[in-house]
Each structure stands twice: as C-alpha cells, then as structure tokens.
Structure 1
Amino acid sequence: MSSLAAQFERDGFLVLPDFHPAAACRELMERGRHLSENYRLDGKGSVFQTSEQTKTSDAYFLESGERISFFFEKDAFDETGALKGDLFRSLNKIGHALHDLDPVFDRFSRSPQLKVLSASLGMQDHLLIQSMLIFKHARIGGVVDVHQDSTFLYTEPDSCVGFWFALEDATIENGCLWAKPGGHRTSLRSRFARDGKGGTRFLELDPAPLETDGMQALEVKQGTCIVLHGRLPHFSQPNTSGKSRQAYAIHTIDPTAHYPMDNWLQRDRRALKGF
C-alpha cells in the first residue's frame, strides 16, 4: 500500500496542495461562465439543496446524469418566480456530466496527475459517474449541510470516492469544507433514491445523526485537490465574504460494485469511462 493510500485509509480524506496549476483552474472557471452565459432559463429554474432535495427534485434534476444542467440557490427567486439577481450569480452549480460532455472539463477530470493519483490509491479502474462545478458565490453561496457522498451515489459494497478541486482559495469566511480525520469509520446513514412516482426520498439505513464534533476547517489554496471517502461526513458553511469559492468535484465508483436501479442518478453504465 502506498503512503497516500495508507493516509487515506486512516483519515478518510487527503489534502493535496498544488495539484492543478492556477491556469487550469482559471480555464475551468472561464468555461463555467461561458456555459452559464449560453444557458437560457425556461420557466422556473431547478433548485439544489443537500438537505431538502426531495422537495425540489424534478424531471430536470433526475435527467441531469446524462446532461449539463444548471441549478440555482434556494433563495435565488422571489415570490413570483423571478430571479432576484443576475443569472450567473444566482447559480448554485452545474452538473452532472460535465466530465463526459465538455472537452475542457474532460481534460481537467482526466489529467495525467489524476491518473497517477488514482493508481496510487488503487482506484485506476474506478468509473467517473458524476461531476459538478460549484459556484459558492460571494454573499449568496448557501450552506451545504453535513452529509456523506455515498448517500447520493450508493453502491453495494460502498465504493464512492470524491475528488474536490479548489478553483479558488477556500477559507472559513467563504465556505471551505469541514471534516474530521477518521470520520469515515462509521456507518452510512441513508441513501437518496427515486420514489417511483417521479420524485425522490431518503431511505434511512442508520437513525444515528451525523456528528460535527471534532471537524476541522479544510482551508486550502487554489489548485488543491481534496480526496473524500464516500462515508466521510463533511459540510460547508454559507459564503458570507465578498469573495467567491468556486470548486469542481468529480465522484467515482468501483465498476464491480452493484449500482441500484433506484439510485437518483442514472447513467448508461456502458458509456461510463475511467480516468
């Protein structure tokens, strides 16, 4: 086992500074703005919330696994359904197939250094199943409640691993990630599944609440890669600063693991690719 793999097994996360150069981070942010500027809002936009996604799940959300889709902050719209501000700064994220459908995101998601990292972690055969450009705009970027990524990308056995890239400096003030070393050595509390009626539901696996005691702020510089175990509880606070905290995340699964048909995100498994 490599030293990185041993550290990951012990802590449940890795913090790898200077993983991507600043130029690559800027290119991804510029591409995200370009995609946003070419998006045309048709009717009421789809809202993303980690804790209350069952209330805002719709066909647009459920079909986003095979598309490049745009999701808004929960407070982006007024009581009439109109945007309170400009479209770009009202967005929460873009997802969930950027890594497969956009050439700029594809290059970033399958960089030579990421191939080396995945091999050192024994994950060279993992499949990239989801990607998200997360904006966390200044003064509007909302809270992401404590959660486990395997809740949203459930496999049997558990195999989800996330790679989170700081496209800008992440601080306590602008909503960096929080996690506890060793926090992944716990049970998966729930999984997010389709309800068979066009919506979604959380299926409880363990009623114990996720604890935030002992979590530390992962304040990192632009270009840092944070690797996250699927069972690691983590969260981020609202962005109360005057600086945005853009990040890009990809999630992977083991191709030999069972991926249930009622998982909210569905992809054509034959089309999935690795690093």
Structure 2
Amino acid sequence: MFADTHLAAFRRDGCAVIADFISAEQVVTLRQRIDELLRSFDPQNHPLTTFATGQSQRQQPDIHIGDQYFFDSADKTSFFLEEGAIDSSSGGRLTVEPHRAINKIGHGLHLTEPVFAKLTHSAPVKDIAHGLGFRDPRVLQSMVICKQPGIGGAVPWHQDSTFLYTQPLSACGFWLALEDCTLDNGCLEFIPGSHLTTPVTKRFVRKHDDSGTEMISIAPDAGEARGTGGGVPIEVAAGSLVLIDGQVLHRSSHNYSAKSRWIYTFHIVEGTAGYDQRNWLQMPAGAELTKL
C-alpha cells in the first residue's frame, strides 16, 4: 500500500493520502465500536472535561486543558466534550444528548480497545513506519475524534510536534477517515511543504507543579510563515489514511453541517529519540511508550 509516490509526497508536502487503506467492512466494525463507546458515556460518572483548541483558546492563550483526568488518559479510554456541548450559563449542563456531546475518545485506544489495537499494530501500519525510516516506532495518543454535527469545534493551525516533542523531532500522525471528510464537515487542511520551512518554536507542556499545562517558547517564532489562511483541503473518503509529518502546519474548520466527521488517529515517535518528562502525555510510572 505504501508506494514510492506516497513517500515522495510525504517528504515533499508533509502529508500523504493512502486511499482505501482499510475496507468498508473494517470501517463498519470500527464505527460500531465507537457508537457503543459514545452511548456508554454517562455524564453523571465522568468529569465534564472539554477539549479546548478553538477560538476560546486563542483569546486566552495561557489557559489550557490540564486536569488530572486529562493527564491520566495516556493508557485509558477517556471522554472529552465539545466546547459547544456545555452551557456554562447553566452550571455546565449539556446542550445535546450525551452521545452527541463527545469531541474525542482517547488517548490509549491502542491499549484498551481490541479493534483499535489490531488496526494500530497491523502489518500495513508497521510497513509504513519502517518505510518512513523509523527504527523503533512507538505508539501514543490514539483517539477517535468525532467532530460532532453543528458543534464540532475548529482546530487552529498547529504542528503535532509542539504537543509530542522529541529530540530530534520525530512525530508522525496516522489519521484514518471513518466517514467521508469534506470542507462542509471540517476536513483537514494543511500548508504543503511547511514542515521544511516552519520550525517548531513552542511546546505544550505540563506545568512544573502539574497544576495544568502551558505553552512555552523554545526558539524565536518564525510566525509569519505560519498560515492564517490558504490551506489546501484534504477531502477524503471513508477508509482513507492521511499521514501527517509532525512539523507540517495543519488545521480543521468548525463543523456547521448536519454530518459528523468521525476519524481514528494515533501518532508514532522514534523510540531512540528523547521524550522528556515535560511532555503533557506521560505513561504511568514503570510503563514505556508502546512498541509498534
């Protein structure tokens, strides 16, 4: 599946699309499990933790998600809500049915959910990792992102290595469409070649006292090479895989449509690269990042 043309596109553009990476039957199996998980969510028994990456975060850039539920999610099945699903004026009451309120389920589905573990550790995934040059690929941050109809929040321009920082940089995203992804329902957009021109200048880290998270500068900001518009949309059919270089600039828009945009995504990093203790995502004491 991973041809020379895919590798060339990935190196040149920072993204590559592999159509029909999984079959229609596999898509159905994964979607059925997601539906079961969504319907198992009981807001009475879970913290109503939102995942804030949209406009509110840009207005208050020093305020980031970082409660213990978030910190403990690396090896668990955890539920995070859409910002638009919470009515803050009514004491945090949900504005939609619970199964429609979820932004994402993560961050350890490759450990806790057999159907996602099987896919993540499949031979085609391993072939891609080695084809990209990974010697000791490690899996982390596996999650379903639902991009719910009408309230699915926008994700602003970012680089994944800001959040999954290694020395040297090594993060690569595997982003699998489980529904058709279009401009209407918030498909990915990216700036081709930005992984070659835009350095990672910030890191999303735990505060030293573990009271939350913060964005810290690690280099002068080249910002104005960062896009404020003009991204190239990646519209793909269900079953397609998008590979995302950890340094490429990408985003997705708010989903105002009546259709959801379910995807499954996970990342790999190089096991021989340095993964330090300030990264927000940490495995429990005594555990290491999962070998692919």
Please say if residues 6 and 17 of structure 2, whose CA atoms lie closer than 8 Å, have aligned partners that are also in contact.
Answer: no
Structure-2 residue corresponding to 1:95: 106
Q: Distance in 2 between matches of 1:166 and 1:224?
A: 6
TM-score normalized with structure 1 length: 0.94
Structure-1 residue corresponding to 2:154: 143
Structure-1 residue corresponding to 2:144: 133
Query: Taking structure 1 as reference, are residues 242 and 193 closer, same or farther at Cα in structure 2, changes over 3 Å only?
Result: same
Percent identity, aligned pairs only, is: 39
Q: Distance in 2 between matches of 1:95 and 1:24?
A: 20
Q: After alignment, is 7-16 or 164-173 more displaced?
A: 7-16
SS in structure 2 of the partner of residue 260 of structure 1: coil
Of residues 197, 208, 233, the one that matches 1:196 is 208
One-letter amino acid matched to 1:46: T
Please say if residues 75 and 109 of structure 2, whose CA atoms lie closer than 8 Å, have aligned partners that are also in contact.
Answer: no
Query: Taking structure 1 as reference, are residues 55 and 4 closer, same or farther at Cα in structure 2, changes over 3 Å only?
Result: closer
Of residues 109, 122, 126, the one that matches 1:115 is 126
Q: After alignment, is 10-19 or 107-116 more displaced?
A: 107-116
Of residues 42, 67, 71, the one that matches 2:76 is 67
Q: CA deviation at 1:138?
A: 1.3
SS in structure 1 of the partner of residue 16 of structure 2: strand
Structure-2 residue corresponding to 1:252: 268
Residue correspondences, number: 275
Q: How does 1:151-170 map to 2 (within 5 A)?
A: 151-170=162-181
Structure-1 residue corresponding to 2:243: 227
Q: After alignment, is 101-110 or 87-96 more displaced?
A: 101-110
TM-score normalized with structure 2 length: 0.88
Q: Distance in 2 between matches of 1:101 and 1:169?
A: 26
SS in structure 2 of the partner of residue 220 of structure 1: coil
Structure-2 residue corresponding to 1:207: 221
Q: CA deviation at 1:120?
A: 1.9
Q: CA deviation at 1:77?
A: 1.4
Q: Which runs of 5+ in 1 are unaligned?
A: none
Please say if residues 76 and 107 of structure 2, whose CA atoms lie closer than 8 Å, have aligned partners that are also in contact.
Answer: yes
Q: Distance in 2 between matches of 1:244 and 1:86?
A: 14
Structure-2 residue corresponding to 1:84: 95
Of residues 261, 268, 277, the one that matches 1:261 is 277
Query: Taking structure 1 as reference, are residues 119 and 37 closer, same or farther at Cα in structure 2, changes over 3 Å only?
Result: same
Question: Over aligned residues, Cα RMSD in angstroms?
Answer: 1.9
Please say if residues 168 and 246 of structure 1, whose CA atoms lie closer than 8 Å, have aligned partners that are also in contact.
Answer: yes
Q: Distance in 1 between matches of 2:69 and 2:95?
A: 21
Please say if residues 138 and 291 of structure 2, whose CA atoms lie closer than 8 Å, have aligned partners that are also in contact.
Answer: yes
One-letter amino acid matched to 1:192: F
Q: Distance in 2 between matches of 1:83 and 1:178?
A: 30
Q: Which runs of 5+ in 2 are unaligned?
A: none
